Structure 1
């Protein structure tokens, strides 16, 4: 039997050529030539172009060897974020209050002015960071932007994380806060949102709330969700090293997945909610970018929600890598993103 590869060699040796379809029957991998990808400019602000064109983060391929190494990297990144938060809160007119809810450390972000329709509405935020990054106040950056731009009161959950607290600690904390919050707030006036890990947790929280017979939120906004912790989905490959935030599943990201899962099956819907039953989910808005490693994660969730009859919006930004819709607080794309979330919540949350 002559394989397609041998046939190709024979054809080339004879100086002949055949149409590409002649070799398609056994094709499974596509070879892509090395190329340079310019920063997009059409419809992309100068601020966002700078974010898109930034170099790969130096730690993307770190493989921390033990808990001490993980904590050093975690603290390094948290320190960078924490330095920006006082100025960010001042810029967007947001007050932060540290509280304990159901035994879990949380932060309440309150804008200076809350419009009348939002007075009795409440958003619950689960932060991103691969289940390892952004402990403590560092978890609140996205919540500050949502509170300041959307003019909602937000609870940001500082859930426990590895290396000290692997799965299911993060989900246990998030659900404890949700269970407590719905005792004193109308779930029809509540939404859950978060980016990346927070997006995956948003979806997993709905699955678990349904299983436990708890009220569901009126809407959710899982931004570029880590909905599949396995290396599954086209853009894990097509956007590898094009995404200048996550870069590759083969760097710290894959290590973080295994660290958090702690031996559990990565396809468990509480770890990878794309494998859960999404029937009956609340209206959902999803966001990603064309260079996002998790674009396929986002698209797959959107399609599965639509197939389940759920109202679901999908927004994809030109040129953006992972979660760059919130990368620069001064970029118009950032206000556009949180404006879309605000309009979506206003549509589906009771007043």
Structure 2
């Protein structure tokens, strides 16, 4: 198997893109760049995901939609683990179900280090094992033991259930591992939760993780930021804020102010945050979410770096085993390796 199907990985990001291809509305016609890998060029040329404009109206419709995507994604995960040499264990930390992914060739330097992964999916998608592809790729390529938090999802569990669960897992990890040996990462919703967890840890007097890596984080749940408009119809994963994404924001927020920093961390106080590595792409609908967060961190004096991939739509860096994916997870491995004791 030369690569991992798009149907596998896209469910784990805020787009939940195990959707069948074939657009409801075509994106703006742009040429496929010649400056990306052939694998990424294939994803760019494939066109938009058809169900981006889905609008569930009841809890039952949200859950049925999420379950159908989860089932399709889960079928592909054993092959991904096998190819990357990653084992899987199940457990419970802090009362929250977790999946643990140790690489078969875990380096000695990382034996006492651990990474907490918070998955994407707009707070409504990625249930159970179905959201674990990013954790598997980080374990297999980045060579760290990864704990994946299977946090509760809306609509049954709106704000603050997801972040409460993430904090519970983090507290549980602190019982056995010093904070200076813990890193936190995630993509899209998981990227935002990585930042929010750090805000919550500080507010609750917990030691902060040694380093964090929010990938294309959903740092603003409102339609604020240049790329929500400039990259609308250019990003062939999310397509537009006005599809299912905006509905998911409201379902999870449950009437709370969408600009509350515990929902939109770009409005939070990030002073004294740990070293941070952010990732986005030039076609990413969340490019502004990412660069605004990067600038805010830098203005606060936080050592923060930013990777922007050429031609990449939202979170496509982990939609296939391609050079961009290898680079991303290798860079994360180096970053955590430098910053964790």
Same fold? TM cut 0.5: yes
| Alpha carbons 2:70, 2:126 under 8 Å: kept | yes
Give the corresponding residue for 1:341: 332
* 1:88 maps onto 2:83 in alignment: no
Counterpart CA distance in 1 for 2:33 and 2:104 is: 36
TM-score (norm 2): 0.91
Pick the aligned partner of 1:255 from 247, 252, 265: 247
1:258 positional shift: 0.2
Runs of 5+ consecutive residues of structure 1 not aligned to the other structure: 1-33
Question: Which residue pairs with 1:120 in the alignment?
Answer: 112
Change beyond 3 A, Cα 1:35–1:135: closer
1:236-315 matches, within 5 Å, as: 236-315=228-307
Helix, strand or coil at the partner of 2:259: coil
CA distance in 1, matches of 2:28, 2:76: 36
Q: TM-score, normalised by structure 1?
A: 0.89
| Match of residue 5 from structure 2 | none
Aligned to 2:163: 171
> After TM superposition, what 4+ stretches of structure 1 lie above 4 angstroms from structure 2?
none
| Higher Rg of the two aligned structures | 1
Gaps of 5+ in 2: 1-26
Number of residue pairs aligned between Structure 1 and Structure 2 = 315
Counterpart selection for 1:137 from 129, 133, 141 = 129
Match of 1:226 among 211, 218, 237: 218
- 2:9 maps to none
Using the TM superposition, give the Cα deviation of residue 182 of structure 1 relative to its aligned residue in structure 2, in angstroms.
Answer: 0.6
Q: 1:254 to 1:47 in 2, by over 3 A?
A: same
Q: Say what the alpha-carbon RMSD is for the aligned residues.
A: 0.9
Listed as ranges, the matches of 1:184-195 within 5 Å are 184-195=176-187
Partner in structure 2 of residue 332 of structure 1 = 323
SS of corresponding position for 1:59? helix
Counterpart position of 1:47: 39
Residue deviations 1:142-194 (CA, integer Å, cap 9, x gap): 00000001111110000000111010000110000101111110110110000
Contact 2:28 2:234 in 1 (8 A): no
Structure 1 counterpart of 2:96, from 98, 101, 104: 104
Per-residue deviation, 1:211: 0.3
Q: Secondary structure of 1:79's match?
A: helix
Which structure has more relative contact order (CA 8 Å, sep 6+)? It is 2
Supply the distance in 2 between the matched residues of 1:285 and 1:204 (Cα, whole angstroms).
Answer: 15
Deviation at 1:196, TM superposition (A): 0.1
Secondary structure of 2:99 counterpart: strand
| Structure 1 position 96, deviation (Å) | 0.8
> Which residue, 19, 31, 51 being the options, matches 1:38?
31
Q: Name the CA distance, whole Å, in 1 between partners of 2:84 and 2:127.
A: 22
